[in-house]
A = this chain, B = another copy of it.
């Protein structure tokens, strides 16, 4: 029952993607998803004490077309749309992930 909306990759705009990636919290989430290379539950992406904050940032990432979220039981599994993003904006995600992690990155 996929009721969670995701944009078509062709409808994704560059500036929206850049805005999504420009926030350190979200960049850290994207890094973690990239390193994992698989779906991760929300609970594995942030501190339980800041659930609504995480929920907000995950929505921004999803609506920007960077991630895909799927409900599984009572949790939600999030993954990076790496291949799609790379086909839409070749090299962009790789370049961002290649940059070294900065101390300000946090979740």
Contact = CB atoms under 8 A, between A and B. Distances in A.
Contact of A15 (B22, B90, B98): B22
Interface in A18-71: 18-19, 21-24, 27
A30 to B, nearest CB: 11
A72 interface: no
B102 A92 contact: no
A89 B96 CA distance: 8
Contact of A23 (B15, B88, B91, B104): B15
9 contacts: A13-B102, A15-B102, A15-B104, A18-B18, A18-B96, A89-B99, A91-B91, A91-B94, A94-B95
Given A13-B104, A88-B99, A90-B98, 20 more contacts: A14-B27, A14-B99, A14-B102, A15-B21, A15-B22, A15-B23, A15-B24, A15-B27, A15-B102, A15-B104, A18-B18, A18-B21, A18-B22, A18-B96, A19-B19, A21-B22, A22-B22, A89-B98, A92-B92, A94-B95
